[in-house]
């Protein structure tokens, strides 16, 4: 077989610089083979190596007494939730593939993150997705949106995992470059943590799953480039094709196999496929690994070693088995009718040796390949646009004249409107654990005995009762804020995720982040990334939540420009008792409505209108300084809220975010769903007339942070206000639940909305845009 | 995974449910959980390659995507060894309930008439619906109080029930239509159906009334913490019918 000659042009085509090539030659002590060049190019891509982001990521807070497996150690972080139980969770992006082929791009994103979780020995029990698209008035955006949602639904529904939470934002900056961030959470016992290590010299290496094809060739490298107009045509081959049925078989077989104790190490073949799984497992165990490619099941004829090593065919696992226990492995895979092959063994050489029909085609020091990718400290420069956006003042902008129409416009705005068009396509109830379904501030999942992987036959833990646990999940990031102030906006993403958990009654346990940014070689875009990482880190430190892992997706830009920067925060929390589980909608007529937190941030010159949904949706402006995020105040608010929830006084809790207080109140009235076409609408009479000297638009639609609307029985209202004040948190009774309208009295007049009308706008707007 | 067990002989108050497990089943554990932990009976996962039903009193065919739903939903599952045993069991009068994909499998296997085709919306639908019980005189509906609507979730992409006009007439005439989709007031309207089924049919039984299928998931509506317990009535109906049979044998 003739392999191409290695030229500088070929090196550059692989996304490697001349310096990186020199480093490869130094590591090998010779010229690389073509296969080796391919291997280095994927392992040293941003997607696999974090070469542009590693110095920044090191600044994240990653420690907590609850952490069992920390950030960067393995395929996903693991956190202790008590009683010998633990959760593994992680978020990952599939932006580039979804831009090119939305259905398969999104579907394989779900498949990949599920594998990351069961690779840790955990049973995947729920998924979440954080999506961003362009303006829905564009047919191309609608095609991408519909395709991504259908792809997630296809994979998740068939696999049988509830897609229980998420967020969807729409903004022109995502035209042609949608963001698809998918999250999975799994459950396991402390004793069941599996490792991606090639341990035990002489142990056999198994390949499990369908045959390797030419699909997804070098997908990791593709994800580390800017999207171009030609991407759709040229890169479609880099998008993999998913088979959720195969994945379902794999998870059941792997968990059954792990219970036998015959497994020494396990890793999925995700980005960079066979290459990444072999060199990383060897590097983690400080061993070597040798594989024979002719033994790898192949779907296409005449595949070259280069293609086999770089293929990202889906639903494949690499399993290192304890020598002598091969028969147990074979029995389980045969039971599940899964294809498997013995392809190599663990060595003590520290090298990753790849042979094809006995001939060595790659021989690389595994640890140097996996861990010693170059690291770059990129230049950061404050973007020019910030000068004008920061200079924005409200003086030239008249106050809102039609507040009734403005709220209707906000509730119809796709970013705020109900996302039922999306989540009704996802099976969000399978596994009988969905206690709070999509549509409240945070989703809540119940963990019970069958959420856990099977135990070995002789385990002393067998037959012991498993206490039920309740885990809340939320994902957040307002990209307009991050665009207008990367540091402050990123703090807000963390604060809001934690606030959403507190509204559900949960104490935060950990964060997985997904950093979606533009090209790091552009100093202005790198500034966004650098400041965002600082903001996320400060937010997590202040609220005492560790980051347990995550993912970076750079190069998110297309010919019309970069995306708004998006550091997606997915946060997981624990609810102590089932009676603490709280939802966002008002419950009973006569309940008191209380606003926790300052009604308006009087120190903010824009009163929370900078970067607000109101400015964007009604005034068609994306500018100004975003709201301030005072982390100490935020922490105090969340602690008080949790204290109140645990006291049993809080009937509903909903945080103020996009659209401000008016949208939060409206959603509290209209967001409860009983069944198909059967909402439970409940009105409210709100009195804000005593808040004087403030613009009406700022009062109703300003997005000052650190505010939550709660409802409580009328007899507890005073006590709730007093308890909040006692802990230094502002609180005031602003109204009463009941009636058929939302009525808000202000110093500027009284405004009334019919519940049926605003529910229709909020519930059906996205469906109307899609038809 | 739930440990494999078999029927507990001798205890007439405990019923024994075989919950079939095909590759791609994904509501199998949910059914076992409800039957065992919520209702206190015996239930086990029955692997599709087995031919014996291990002394089960009733069979549940759970939801999911058996064999990936390749070819056609339920089309491959019907050829599995365990389905041979189920056909024989049903022929002898044994109670069989197919939920969602299980309903599709029963139709493919010829144990129930008609077919389930793609939802008219061409999209998957996951939401709570209301069900009107049309025929309370079956082992699957006997405990449902008259006039009581059930609120139970659906989750399917291919749940639109279809059969020719003669079959539909016969199903209604024989009281084989067990449930129809309706709205909160009990009206059987087009809007109330999540999938466009002929005459809002949500579930049916065979002529001998021992095999039934429905698209909604009663196992997802059997615990207060999940917001609704109406689904229990379906399982409790089966348990009552089975208890009566056991007593009759004695």
Kindly determine whether residue B125 and residue A430, on different chains, have CB atoms separated by under 8 Å: no
What is the reported pTM?
0.96
Contact flag A158-B68 (C-beta cutoff 8 Å): yes
Q: How far apart are CA A532 and CA A95, in angstroms?
A: 19
Question: Which segments within A566-706 are labelled E, that is strand?
Answer: 566-575, 592-596, 650-655, 672-675, 678-680, 684-687
B130-170: pLDDT as tens digits = 999 999 999 999 999 999 999 999 999 999 999 999 999 99
Q: What does the angle CA A595 – CA A596 – CA A598 come to, to the nearest 5 degrees?
A: 90
The H-or-E segment that residue B45 falls in is strand B42-47
**What mean pLDDT is reported for chain B?**
94
- Tell me whether residues A256 and B1 touch, CB distance under 8 A: yes
pLDDT in tens, A668-718: 999 999 999 999 999 999 999 999 999 999 999 999 999 999 999 999 999
Higher pLDDT, A602 or B174: B174
CB contact under 8 Å between A245 and B67, yes or no, is yes
Is the CB of B130 less than 8 angstroms away from the CB of A426?
no
The DSSP result for B104-148, as a single string, is HHHHHTTSSSSEEE--TTSS-EEEEEEEEES---STTTTTSPTTP
A47 is catalytic: yes
Q: Which is nearest to B120 in space by CA: B191, B185, B56?
A: B191
The Cα–Cα gap between A473 and A477 comes to: 14
- Which is nearest to B48 in space by CA: B74, B25, B80, B76? B80
User: Cβ contacts of residue B22 below 8 Å, gap of 6+?
Assistant: B48, B64, B66, B67, B77, B80
Coil/strand/helix, residue A594: strand
Chain B contact for A435 (CB, 8 A cutoff): yes
Nearest to B2 among A434, A450, A578 (CB): A450
Contact A427 B192 (CB under 8 A): no
Helix, strand, or coil (residue A251): helix
Residues 549-588 (A) with a CB less than 8 A from some CB of B: 578
- List all residues of chain A from 332 to 351 with a beta carbon under 8 Å from chain B: 336-337
For residues A74 and A90, give the distance between their C-alpha atoms in angstroms, rounded to a whole number. 11
What is the complex's ipTM, to 2 decimals? 0.95
- Assign A185 to helix, strand or coil: strand
Phi-psi region of B93 (alpha: psi -120 to 50; beta: other; left: phi over 0): left
pLDDT in tens, B192-241: 999 999 999 999 999 999 999 999 999 999 999 999 999 999 999 999 99
User: Nearest residue on chain B to A468, judged by CA atoms?
Assistant: B225
CB contact under 8 A, A423 and B126: yes
Alpha helices (runs of H) in A454-604, residue ranges in sequence order: 479-484, 486-504, 523-543
Bridging pattern class, strands A263-268 and A650-655: unpaired
Which fold does the domain A582-771 belong to in CATH? Phosphoribosyl-aminoimidazole Synthetase; Chain A, domain 2 (3.90.650)
Does A256 contact B68 at a Cβ distance shorter than 8 Å?
no
The answer to whether B81 and B109 have CB atoms below 8 angstroms apart is no
Chain A hits for B32, CB-CB cut-off 8 Å, are: 450
Q: Does the structure show a pLDDT above 60 at B4? A: no
Report CB contact under 8 Å: B184, A678: yes
219-248 of A, contacting B, C-beta below 8 A = 243-246, 248
Distance CA(A8)–CA(A121), nearest Å, equals 43
Q: Tokens standing for A500?
A: 């959403």
pLDDT of residue A4: 87
Q: What angle do CA A218, A229, A557 make, to 5 degrees?
A: 75
- Residue A85, beta-bridge partner list: A82, A189
Instruction: With cut-offs at 50, 70 and 90, classify the pLDDT of residue B2.
Output: very low
The pLDDT, as a whole number, for residue B74 is 76
Query: Mutate which of B19, B28, B29 to test chain A, going by most A C-beta atoms within 10 A?
Result: B29
Let me know the angle formed at the C-alpha of A422 by A474 and A443, rounded to the nearest 5 degrees.
25
Q: Per-residue confidence at B67, pLDDT binned at 50, 70, 90?
A: confident
Q: Which residues contact A234 (CB under 8 A, 6 or more apart)?
A: none
d(CA A749, CA A742): 14
Whole-number average pLDDT of chain A: 95
Decide if A530 touches B, using CB distance below 8 A: no
Partners of residue B219 in chain A, C-beta under 8 Å:
432
Rounded Cα gap, residues B144 and B137, in angstroms: 10
Question: So what's the pLDDT on residue A233?
Answer: 56
* Phi, psi values for residue B244, rounded to 5°: -60, -45
Residues A336/A249, Cβ–Cβ less than 8 Å: yes
Q: Which two tokens stand for residue A467?
A: 């206490």
Q: How far is B27 from chain A (nearest CA, A)?
A: 7
Domain ranges of chain A: 582-771
SS3 content of chain A, % helix, strand, coil (to 5): 40, 25, 35
Query: B1, A676: Cβ pair inside 8 Å?
Result: no
Residue A552, C-beta contacts closer than 8 angstroms, at least 6 positions apart? A46, A47, A50, A53, A57, A514, A515, A517
* Residues belonging to chain B with any Cβ–Cβ distance to chain A shorter than 8 Å: 1-2, 23-24, 26-27, 29-30, 32-34, 37, 63-65, 67-70, 123-130, 151, 153, 155, 157, 183-184, 191-192, 194, 217, 219-220, 223, 225-227
Contact of A428 with chain B, judged by CB distance below 8 Å, is answered with yes
A379-395: string of b/e by CB count within 10 Å (b at 16+)?
ebeebeebeebeebebe
The predicted structure's pLDDT at residue B250: 74
- Nearest residue to A153 via CA among B60, B35, B12, B155: B155
Q: Which residues of B are catalytic?
A: 100, 217, 219
Averaged in consecutive runs of 10 residues, what is the pLDDT profile of chain A (771 residues)?
A: 83 92 96 95 89 94 96 93 98 94 95 96 98 97 98 97 97 95 98 95 97 75 63 64 93 97 94 91 96 95 93 94 96 95 97 97 95 93 97 95 98 98 98 97 96 93 92 98 98 98 98 97 97 98 97 89 96 97 98 97 94 98 97 98 97 98 98 97 98 95 98 98 98 97 98 98 98 88
Give the DSSP per-residue string, A381-437. Answer: ---THHHHHHH--GGGSPPPS-HHHHHHHHHHSTTTS--HHHHTTS--STTS-EEE-
- Distance (Å) of CA A719 to CA A593, A594, A688, A715, A726: 13, 11, 20, 8, 10
Contact predicate A208/A250, CB 8 Å: yes
**Test mutation, B5, B24, B80, B104, chain A, max A CBs within 10 A:** B24
**pLDDT score of A457:** 87
Instruction: Write out pLDDT tens, residues A223-253.
Output: 666 666 666 556 656 677 889 999 999 999 9
Rounded CA-CA distance B100/B203 in Å is: 10
Q: Which residues of A touch B24 (CB under 8 A)?
A: 158, 245, 248-249
- The residues, any chain, with a CB within 8 Å of residue A178's CB and separated by 6 or more, are A95, A98, A99, A102, A131, A132, A133, A134, A141, A144, A145, A148
Which is nearest to A124 in space by CA: A192, A193, A187, A194?
A187
DSSP secondary structure code for residue A217 in this structure: T
What domains are defined for chain B? Answer: 16-249 (3.40.50.880)
Can you list the positions of beta strands (E) in A576-720? 592-596, 650-655, 672-675, 678-680, 684-687, 708-712
Between CA A612 and CA B245 the distance in angstroms is: 66
């Amino acid at each position: 077989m003739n392999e191409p000659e290695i030229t500088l042009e070929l090196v550059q085509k692989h996304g490697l610089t001349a310096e990186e090539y020199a480093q490869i030659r130094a590591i090998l002590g010779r010229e690389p083979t073509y296969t080796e060049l391919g291997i280095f190019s994927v392992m040293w891509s941003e997607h696999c190596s974090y070469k542009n982001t590693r110095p920044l990521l090191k600044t994240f807070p990653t420690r907590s007494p609850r952490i069992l497996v920390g950030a960067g150690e393995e395929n996903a972080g693991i956190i202790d939730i008590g009683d010998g139980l633990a959760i593994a969770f992680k978020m990952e992006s599939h932006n580039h593939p979804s831009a090119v082929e939305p259905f398969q791009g999104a579907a394989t994103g779900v498949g990949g993150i599920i594998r990351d979780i069961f690779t840790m020995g955990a049973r995947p029990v729920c998924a979440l997705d954080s999506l961003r698209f362009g303006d829905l008035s564009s047919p191309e955006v609608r095609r991408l949106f519909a395709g991504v949602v259908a792809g997630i639904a296809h994979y998740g529904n068939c696999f049988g995992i509830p897609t229980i939470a998420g967020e969807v934002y729409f903004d022109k900056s995502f035209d042609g470059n949608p963001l698809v961030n998918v999250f999975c959470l799994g459950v396991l016992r402390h004793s069941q943590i599996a490792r991606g290590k090639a341990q035990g010299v002489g142990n056999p290496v198994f390949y499990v799953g369908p045959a390797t094809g030419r699909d997804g060739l070098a997908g990791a490298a593709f994800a580390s480039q800017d999207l171009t107009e030609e991407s759709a045509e040229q890169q479609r081959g880099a998008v993999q094709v998913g088979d959720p049925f195969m994945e379902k078989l794999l998870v059941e077989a792997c968990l059954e196999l792990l219970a036998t104790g015959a497994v020494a190490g396990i890793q999925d073949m995700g980005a960079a496929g066979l290459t990444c799984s072999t060199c990383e497992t060897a590097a983690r165990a400080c061993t070597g690994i040798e594989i024979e490619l002719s033994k790898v099941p192949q779907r296409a004829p005449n595949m070259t070693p280069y293609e086999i090593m770089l293929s990202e065919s889906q639903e494949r696992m690499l399993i290192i088995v304890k020598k002598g226990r091969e028969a147990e492995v074979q029995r389980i895979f045969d039971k599940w009718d899964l294809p498997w092959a013995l392809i190599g063994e663990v060595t003590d050489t520290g090298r990753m040796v790849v042979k094809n029909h006995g001939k060595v085609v790659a021989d690389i020091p595994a640890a140097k390949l996996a861990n010693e990718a170059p690291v770059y400290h990129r230049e950061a420069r404050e973007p020019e646009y910030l000068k004008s956006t920061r200079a924005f003042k409200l003086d030239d902008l008249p106050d809102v004249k039609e507040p009734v129409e403005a709220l209707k416009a906000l509730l119809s705005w796709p970013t705020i409107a109900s996302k039922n068009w999306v989540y009704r396509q996802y099976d969000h109830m399978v596994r009988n654990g969905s206690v709070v379904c999509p549509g409240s501030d945070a989703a809540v999942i119940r963990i019970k005995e069958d959420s856990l992987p099977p135990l070995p036959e002789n385990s002393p833990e067998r037959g012991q009762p498993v206490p039920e646990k309740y885990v809340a999940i939320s994902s957040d990031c307002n990209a307009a804020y991050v665009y207008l102030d990367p540091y402050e906006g990123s703090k807000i993403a963390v604060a809001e995720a934690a606030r959403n958990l507190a509204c559900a009654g949960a104490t935060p346990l950990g964060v997985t982040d997904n950093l979606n940014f533009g090209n790091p070689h552009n100093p202005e875009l790198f500034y966004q990334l650098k400041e965002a990482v600082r903001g996320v880190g400060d937010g997590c430190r202040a609220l005492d939540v560790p980051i347990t892992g995550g993912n970076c997706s750079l190069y998110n830009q297309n010919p019309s420009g970069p995306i708004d920067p998006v550091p997606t925060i997915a946060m997981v929390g624990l609810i102590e008792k089932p009676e603490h589980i709280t939802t966002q909608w008002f419950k009973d007529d006569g309940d008191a409505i209380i606003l926790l937190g300052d009604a308006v941030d009087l120190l903010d010159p824009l009163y929370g209108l900078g970067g607000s949904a109101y400015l964007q949706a009604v005034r068609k402006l994306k500018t100004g300084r975003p709201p301030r995020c005072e982390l100490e105040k935020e922490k105090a608010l969340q602690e008080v809220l949790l204290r109140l929830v645990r006291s049993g006084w809080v009937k509903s809790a909903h945080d103020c975010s996009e659209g401000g207080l008016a949208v939060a109140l409206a959603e509290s009235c209209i967001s409860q769903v009983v069944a198909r076409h059967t909402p439970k609408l409940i009105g409210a009479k709100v009195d804000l007339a005593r808040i004087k000297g403030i613009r009406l638009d700022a009062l109703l639609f300003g997005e000052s942070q650190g505010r939550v609307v709660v409802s409580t029985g009328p007899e507890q209202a005073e006590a709730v206000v007093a308890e909040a004040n006692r802990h230094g948190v502002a609180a005031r009774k602003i109204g009463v639940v009941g009636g058929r309208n939302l009525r808000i009295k202000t110093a500027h007049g009284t405004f009334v909305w019919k519940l049926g009308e605003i529910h229709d706008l909020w519930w059906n707007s996205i469906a109307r845009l899609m038809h | 995974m739930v440990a494999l067990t078999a029927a507990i002989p001798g205890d007439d108050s405990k019923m024994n449910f075989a919950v079939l497990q095909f590759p791609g089943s994904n509501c199998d554990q949910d059914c076992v959980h409800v039957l065992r932990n919520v209702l206190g009976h015996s239930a086990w996962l029955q692997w599709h390659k087995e031919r014996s039903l291990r002394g089960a009193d009733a069979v549940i065919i759970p939801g999911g995507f058996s064999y990936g739903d390749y070819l056609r939903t339920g089309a491959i599952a019907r050829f599995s060894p365990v389905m041979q045993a189920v056909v024989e069991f049903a022929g002898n009068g044994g109670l069989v309930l197919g939920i969602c994909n299980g309903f599709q499998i029963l139709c493919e296997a010829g144990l129930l008439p008609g077919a389930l085709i793609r939802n008219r919306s061409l999209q998957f639908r996951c939401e709570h619906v209301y069900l009107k019980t049309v025929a309370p005189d079956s082992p699957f509906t006997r405990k449902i109080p008259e006039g009581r609507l059930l609120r139970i979730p659906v989750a399917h992409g291919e749940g639109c029930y279809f059969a020719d006009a003669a079959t539909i007439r016969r199903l209604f005439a024989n009281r084989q239509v067990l449930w129809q989709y309706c709205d909160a007031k009990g009206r059987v309207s087009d809007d109330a159906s999540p999938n466009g089924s002929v005459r809002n049919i949500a579930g049916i039984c065979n002529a001998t009334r021992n095999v039934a299928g429905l698209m909604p998931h009663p196992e997802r509506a059997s615990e207060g913490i999940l917001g609704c317990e109406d689904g229990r009535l379906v399982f409790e109906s089966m348990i009552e019918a089975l208890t009566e049979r056991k007593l009759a044998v004695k």
